[in-house]
Amino acid sequence: MKTIYLDNNATTRTAPEVVEAMLPFFSDLYGNASSMHSFGGQVGKHIATAREQVAALIGAHPSEIVFTSCGTESNNAAIMGTLYSYPEKKHVIICRVEHPAVLNVGHHLQARGYRVTELGVDGSGNLNLDELRAAIGDETALVSIMTANNETGVLFPVDEIAAICRERGTPFHTDAVQAIGKIPMDMRKSPIDLLSLSGHKLHAPKGIGALYIRKGTKFSPFLIGGHQEAGRRGGTENVPYIIGLGRAAEFVTAHMEEENTRVKALRDRLEKELLQRIPNTLVNGNRDCRLPNTTNLSFEYIEGESILMLLNEEGICASSGSACTSGSLQPSHVLRAMGVPFTAAHGSVRFSLSIYNTDEDVDHVIEVMPPIIERIRDMSPFWKDYQAGKPPSSFLTGGDVEHHVHG
């Protein structure tokens, strides 16, 4: 059975061009870039090229790029590295729909005496910028707001947020892990101070990321060790992966137009057809201001996980925003923050496309989805209650478990 991969916000296929670029650095070119000899030194030159490629992707200067092990490390380094630089400031502002790689750093800081403001979002997943303005104070060390939400694809106005922060003299970091490679971002035109990106979301392998640190931004290393990355991140460079990230940066730049035309059109067709063919289907998040590849749909009165299981039987890979453990159900923190009713939030499915998807992929999903939903609804007491005009069962608003959307 053919795999139809529609889970690109969880991870992407490593582009064959990227794999090819990496291969020599697993064999012949194994030197250490820090060595005095030219055998190692030649590797340093390749790292410098990769740094230029990543910088070019976001309109940065190569010296502003620090290679890390992943998006999670970039986020941790951005937040902790800023806090180390402002030890007297004990307040951080984040958003309630951040990825756990920011949200849980917030919880970690809170447990250590920091005041952490989690800004809420409205029903479309948008921030209220007046709330942000009101939250920034003299003691605020950092504002960190994601560029694109991983579950809904909703975009935040990060340039505007960065401008507000700059006016107040507060550093601004954005977790742009889901945005980079899908939409253009240009640090020459934006006042963003720090930005995280991750290789495996943009057709490089898992286990490589980068942190952009604008020249002049105060930053203390998070990973303390050797002099690598101009003293900003210790650890011998992961050369093959750095080369892969550089090549992937070129790859996504070359495909950016396609992502925002053909891939977006595929996403839009998938969404439109499913909305038309399946009753009680809703789109979660601001449809006008979203990543081009993502749709998060709720099929009311059923469980997202059952949908995923039946999609899996068809070879279709997607993600869900809810989990069912020992009879207690809890939808994703993102949908909860948006106030999506439980009857809809439980039945959410995220489809996230890439340039490797075809018309046939989307045709297949459009064909199999209506009978899958019908089959599950036929077995769902909640759907039956709904059809009989009864109020939703309290089971639908059950206990507290972690949700399962990856990426």
Phi, psi at 295, each rounded to 5°: -135, 135
- Give min distance, CB of 373 to ligand PLP, in A: 27
Q: Which is nearer to ligand PLP, 278 or 337 (CB)?
A: 337
- Where does this chain bind ligand PLP (CB under 6 A)? 70-72, 99, 101, 146, 150, 175, 177-178, 198, 200, 209, 407
Q: Which is nearer to ligand PLP, 170 or 178 (CB)?
A: 178
CA distances from 253 to 12, 70, 248, 357 (A): 15, 20, 8, 18
DSSP bridge pairs for 107? none
CA distances from 309 to 301, 320, 328, 360, 369 (A): 16, 10, 18, 21, 12
Q: Residue with CB nearest ligand PLP?
A: 71
Q: Which is nearer to ligand PLP, 177 or 243 (CB)?
A: 177
Instruction: Find, among 278, 251, 286, 272, the residue nearest to 126 by Cα.
Output: 286
Q: Which is nearer to ligand PLP, 14 or 280 (CB)?
A: 14
β-strands 294-299, 348-352: how paired? antiparallel
| Tokens standing for residue 80 | 């902790």
Instruction: Compute the half-sphere exposure of residue 380: CA atoms within 13 Å on the CB side of its CA.
Output: 27
317: CB partners within 8 A, 6+ apart: 3, 4, 5, 6, 7, 311
Total Cβ atoms within 10 A of residue 125 = 26
CA distances from 28 to 24, 39, 136, 204 (A): 6, 10, 52, 21
Q: Which is nearer to ligand PLP, 41 or 207 (CB)?
A: 207
Residue indicated by tokens 């930053």: 219
- Give min distance, CB of 177 to ligand PLP, in A: 4
Total Cβ atoms within 10 A of residue 10 = 18
- Give min distance, CB of 72 to ligand PLP, in A: 3
In angstroms, the CA 114 to CA 101 distance is 17
- Give min distance, CB of 101 to ligand PLP, in A: 4
Q: Which is nearer to ligand PLP, 104 or 280 (CB)?
A: 104
Asked if residues 104 and 154 have their Cβ atoms less than 8 Å apart, the reply is no
- Give min distance, CB of 263 to ligand PLP, in A: 18
- Give min distance, CB of 146 to ligand PLP, in A: 6
Residue indicated by tokens 């992961």: 238
317 as an active site residue: the answer is: no
> Which residue out of 165, 289, 317, 324 is catalytically annotated?
324
Kind plus residue range of the DSSP H or E element containing 304: helix 304-313
List active site positions. Answer: 324
